Structure 1
């Protein structure tokens, strides 16, 4: 377990639901990854990269809803600017995406 935080610390993290609308290979990434474009409704479309190529192919990801942190600063990854962080659970070395059980509006906060 990591260090204990208080509720105020947690409330600073902006978790939102978005829909993956575009998936591209990312050959310049250090580890196998995809470039994702995610629609967060009124927050707009944000880009990120995700090392999820072992469990997901591009077709499986298109139109899938996911959960992401949307208030991190932008981060340069190779020649690509990441604007959010998609959340997943790790099973052995593979990442499984977290997602809502039912379809919700893009940009819906996760509490």
Structure 2
């Protein structure tokens, strides 16, 4: 394997559980995407752009808990500032969101 990550590297990635509280179309994105507003409890509210329009309708995402990396630097995407990275599994070109099996407190860590 060429791409080895140490345990120390992994511990720097802050994965948290959040609940999607708002979903909007993102027409200015280069590829079809939604703008998500996510509640991370004590960490606050963060926004993210997610290219998940082929598998999810907006109403399916509202109130869904997801996993996201919350300690990446902000990233400008068109006219939108993404503050976290929603995590999903990729099958061919589709992204399937990772989520807890049962409801947990927003802001809970993932390890």
Residue 85 in 1 paired to residue 89 in 2? no
**How many pairs align?**
111
Q: CA–CA distance in 2 between the matches of 1:35 and 1:43?
A: 19
1:48 is aligned to 48
TM-score, length of structure 2 as denominator length: 0.98
State the shift of 1:5 in Å.
Answer: 1.2
Task: Please give the alpha-carbon distance, in whole angstroms, between the structure 2 residues aligned to 1:71 and 1:92.
Answer: 27
Q: What residue in structure 1 maps to residue 9 of structure 2? A: 9
Are 2:26 and 1:26 aligned? yes
SS in 2 for 1:35: strand
Partner of 1:35: 35
Task: Give the secondary structure class of the aligned counterpart of 1:103.
Answer: coil
Residue 57 in structure 1 maps to residue 57 in structure 2: yes
Cα offset, 1:66, TM superposition:
0.1
Give the match for residue 99 of structure 2: 99
Distance in structure 2 (CA, Å) of the matches to 1:2 and 1:48: 30
The farther-off stretch of 12-21 and 1-10 is 1-10
Shift in Å, 1:60: 0.0
TM-score (norm 1): 0.98
RMSD: 0.8
Cα distance in 2 for partners of 1:4, 1:15 equals 19
Gaps of 5+ in 1: none
SS at match of 1:63: coil
